[in-house]
Chain A
Amino acid sequence: MRRLGLRIDFSQLIVWIIGLLLLALVVIGTISTLQTGKYSAQQWRDFVVFGIAQGSIYALIALGYTMVYGVLGLINFAHGEVFMSGAFTGFFLANALAENGMIDSNPILSLIAVILLSAAVSTGVALALERIAYRRLRRAPRLVALITAIGASFFLQYTFRGLYGSGVKVYPTVEILQGSVFGIQKTMIVVFIGAISMLILLYLFIQNTKMGKAIRAVSEDVETAALMGVDVNRTISATFAVGGVMAGVAGVLYAIIFKQVNFFMGFIPGIKAFTAAVLGGIGNIPGAAMGGLVLGIFESVGPSLFLEGLGIPAAYQLKDVIAFLMLVLILIFRPTGILGERLATKRV
């Protein structure tokens, strides 16, 4: 038994050494990058701003992952497609509004209309997903539900590909969002404000409403919540709906800064958002938001800061390597993510 304990320490030691080596590499890279003085302070600020904009979108998608995980313990792999469905559908309204001039004469109203449509479609898709694909599988092993989610993800992707065509669609440009304030693009500011206000709304909803309480209760313990008179089915549906709304809004915000939408656009942000959710501690709502922002910033700053100093060419090709290595590092030193898990660790 004593030997056993020693061995575990030994393997843990190796892991820590690997972790520290990676950290050392990061530090060396950072120092040598900063020494060369290649980038100005302005450029560093730009990197961070770009990262925050991208990160806000990850954060909004990650909320859907984390909430569903909270109540069902399920990795909703199809959540990226929920995001896509809203943004893709919203394009047609935005395009119509641009054609009759509404979007320039009345930009706020148009934006709200597009967001409403996008959120409605995303919510509808999320609810349908829950009702058709997941409800029957609540008692099944989680891997079964995971495969279902993956299947649903393919199905949704290619459904929307068939429905709207496989070409790239481009959102119209909004005139008043052009240009910059204090050297920061207006679009970025809008996206950031949009994301923050959605987060605050969500927080108020979860903390203060009856349904919010029910969601929290179900994610603590389904059976006890049911015994306390919580309608579990309704609560789970509500969770999916809230996740859908967040994804729908994220879709429009995405369209504001990136413009292009297509049927495959949900896949990569979906995986990144999942990473962000785990990074922040899956099941933890502020954690997901934080994870998204951290991931976005690291992706944007990391390649320049860590890699260029090490003399690695085409550093931005490796930004996902940085993102995932950072994830592993954080999980080595903080096994339950940045903000930790709110749930009991064991959910099998």
Chain B
Amino acid sequence: MTSGLRSAFNFGLLGGVVAWHACLVGMVESFSERRLIGETVELSYVWLVGIVLLIGYLKARNVQAPGIAVFHSIVSGATIGAALTLLALLTSVFNLRDIFPFASPRLVELLTLERGIADALGLLFPILGGAVLGAAAGGLALAPPIWRRTITVALLVTVLIGLLRDIFAAIVPRDVVSLIFTSRGLLPMGALVVFVVSGALTWLIGTFGLPGISTDASSASRSVATPWKYAYLGFGVLFLLTFPLWGKLFLSNVANFIGLYIIMALGLSLVIGFAGMLDLGFVAFFAIGAYTMAILTSPKIGTFTLTFWQALPFSMLFAFLSGVVLGLPVLRMRGDYLAIATLGFGEIIRILALSNFLKPYMGGAQGITSVARPEIAGFVISKPEPFYYIVLIGCVVAWFVAARLKHSRLGRAWMAIREDEDVAQAMGINRVETKLLAFAIGAILGGMSGAFFAGLVGSVVPKSFELLVSINVLAVIIVGGMGSLPGVLVGALVLVGLPELLREFAEYRMLVYGAVLVVMMLFRPEGLWPEAVRKRELHKDETSAPQRVTTSVTASTTPSVKD
């Protein structure tokens, strides 16, 4: 019992640390103006409430007996509250502001519900609030699964829609928007409607399932009835084809960048996922594609003025050639030596583009403007909406190439090299040529993406080709699931789409992005849509861990997040 209480207290302390973090990095204060629902529910409180709910929920799930569970989550919640009270006290008694700019009087006001620390109620407010929320979380944890899911989903959807108000406002007619939204978030009535509707939908789907999809518990995979399969497929195609029509300017732009990353990630996937070479400088090929496009088409540089379509093959050609040239020296290196050498190449390309040395040819820091836009039948495509279709076609082509290569003789040679280089070589696979081909074909896709980028944005500067791009592409592949093509899609949607949606977090975007990366890798190391083989490997590994030798092999087919 006491050890149980201590664990509840520890959970609370953990939550307290997270809550302190949220307060001291300024998220609470900065988001206090960000009204999600009506005039009162602000993102700052939602954030803190979310922490308490999550901790309370996790604690309650951790305990078997229902009564004790709720009690424990109340303890956890109150502990978090107490931590916040302590923070409010410390902030107002000592002047911490010289060190922590966000330990401000405003923070104290927020934490004590505008009452200040002199008021006992103000001081008690976080503790009481924490306890009440802890109880709610405990209750939620004990509710039957269907209700638990319904309420969780409905809550999340409501918060999410409140957060993404601007995006909805951009694509839905204004009269409809004003029905459920204020100028910044949801109307109280609108929030209720969203909550009820999303809850009802979740409940219905949870109870009856999606039409045509049988979720047979005994078989791990879902089977889809044939006519419905076509219906879903048709819906998907229709969705993709009509996207710019209803997605309008902003979402089309986001979709374009997701598309560019998909093309790049497919290219990198050949290198890393298929052939197993860690390339941290993939941005080099993206940059080469973009700069080739810019140099060949821009009148600002003046040597060539080709059209977009004429320059596109050259972009890919140069990317390919540079893939060969850069690849030759580094391909004999293994593992991390390869990683740092490629990272170096990425930086070298960027610095050269930036340098005074090559300024007459590459524009230096000013970059190159007036890059040619693609033109189809006399119609110049300069806006994100029509450009979407070009990117879409590019994605389809890249997908086709990658998918065909994967199952080709070459693809199998890559896999062999990935699994064991020496054995592959012994089996008669030419190590250097095979790896070089992976590198160079990947580079072509990178170059294509870069060329599209230049045409889409219309100007090219060295700043766009920083190491961060390589890192993001790599993250797309790993988060999606290494070596898996659908994984690339999901990864790009999540990691490129997400920061765009996270725009609401303004300057905390990168903070949240970093945290999401860590959490995602900790709880789903195989990626969001892993290759079947890889997933099996990972779980085989888990089951062969010493403490689990006794569990049967079938257990590994149902991945459990809690482990």
Contacts and interface: CB of A to CB of B under 8 A. Distances in A.
Nearest to A129: B518
A189 B242 CA distance: 67
Residue among B352, B478, B518 with the most chain A CB within 10 A? B518
B357 A313 contact: yes
Contact of B101 (A141, A164, A345): A164
A75 B278 CA distance: 12
B402 to A, nearest CB: 18
Interface string B348-388: 10011011110000000000000000000000000000000
Contacts of A335: 332-333, 337
Contacts of A320: 347-348, 351
Interface residues of B, number: 65
A321 B352 CA distance: 8
B513 A139 contact: no
Contacts, number: 181
Interface in A120-142: 132-133, 136-137, 139-141
Given A69-B336, A150-B471, A313-B357, A271 B329 contact: no
Contact of B508 (A148, A158, A165, A318): A158
A294 interface: no
Given A8-B432, A139-B545, A162-B26, A331 B341 contact: yes
Contacts of B508: 158, 162
A113 B39 CA distance: 49
A312 interface: yes
Contacts of A153: 514
Contacts of B330: 328, 331
A274 B102 CA distance: 33
Interface string A315-330: 0011011011101100
Residue among A1, A150, A156 with the most chain B CB within 10 A? A150
Given A148-B518, A151-B515, A154-B510, A314 B329 contact: no
B517 A317 contact: no
Contacts of A156: 514
B433 A7 contact: yes
Contacts of A69: 336
B205 to A, nearest CB: 32
A147 B545 contact: no
A159 B25 contact: yes
A12 interface: yes
A150 B517 contact: yes
Contact of B517 (A147, A313, A332): A147
B348 A325 contact: yes
A144 B525 contact: yes
A321 B332 CA distance: 21
A221 to B, nearest CB: 17
A151 to B, nearest CB: 3
Contacts of B343: 271, 324
Given A141-B525, A162-B24, A162-B508, A152 B518 contact: yes
Interface string A279-290: 000100000000
B489 to A, nearest CB: 18
A107 B194 CA distance: 64
B176 interface: no
Given A141-B482, A318-B351, A324-B345, A7 B510 contact: no
Interface residues of A, number: 67
Contacts of A331: 330, 333, 337, 341
A69 to B, nearest CB: 7
A75 B339 CA distance: 10
B511 A143 contact: no
Residue among A18, A132, A282, A348 with the most chain B CB within 10 A? A348
A19 B545 contact: no
Contact of B514 (A19, A137, A152, A328): A152
A347 interface: yes
Interface in A250-306: 271, 274-275, 278, 282
B167 interface: no
Contacts of A162: 24-27, 102, 508, 511
Interface string B524-535: 010000000000
Secondary structure type dominating chain B contacts: helix
A314 B517 contact: no
Contact of B478 (A144, A152, A271): A144
Interface in B8-25: 21, 24-25
B102 A137 contact: no
A239 interface: no
B99 A92 contact: yes
A193 interface: no
B448 interface: no
Contact of B335 (A145, A151, A271, A348): A348
B518 A133 contact: yes
B479 interface: yes
A14 interface: yes
Contacts of A205: none
Contacts of B352: 318, 321
Contact of A317 (B337, B345, B355): B355
Nearest to B326: A328
Given A15-B328, A139-B545, A335-B333, A151 B27 contact: no
A271 B328 contact: no
Contacts of A144: 478, 521, 525
B521 A345 contact: no
Interface string B1-44: 00000000000000000000100111100000000000000000
A345 B333 CA distance: 11
Given A155-B514, A165-B101, A318-B357, A275 B521 contact: no
A348 B278 CA distance: 12
A143 B278 contact: yes
Interface string B469-510: 001001100110010000000000000000000000001101
Contacts of A18: 328-329
Contact of B340 (A147, A157, A164, A278): A278
A314 B99 contact: no
A117 to B, nearest CB: 12
A348 B337 CA distance: 13
Contacts of A151: 475, 513-518, 521
A313 B102 CA distance: 45
Contact of A143 (B98, B272, B545): B272
Contacts of A19: 329
Given A146-B478, A159-B21, A165-B101, 17 more contacts: A1-B428, A4-B428, A19-B329, A140-B525, A143-B482, A148-B517, A150-B514, A152-B514, A154-B510, A154-B517, A155-B511, A158-B25, A159-B25, A162-B27, A271-B343, A313-B357, A328-B341
10 contacts: A11-B433, A69-B336, A92-B99, A139-B541, A143-B482, A274-B340, A278-B336, A321-B348, A321-B351, A325-B348
List the 6 closest A-B pairs by CB distance, nearest first: A162-B25, A151-B517, A154-B514, A324-B344, A155-B514, A158-B511
Interface of A: 1, 4, 7-8, 11-12, 14-15, 18-19, 69, 75, 92, 132-133, 136-137, 139-141, 143-148, 150-159, 161-165, 271, 274-275, 278, 282, 312-314, 317-318, 320-321, 323-325, 327-328, 331-332, 335-337, 345-348
Interface of B: 21, 24-27, 98-102, 272, 278, 328-330, 332-337, 339-341, 343-345, 347-348, 351-352, 354-357, 428, 430-433, 436, 467, 471, 474-475, 478-479, 482, 507-508, 510-511, 513-518, 521-522, 525, 538, 541-542, 545
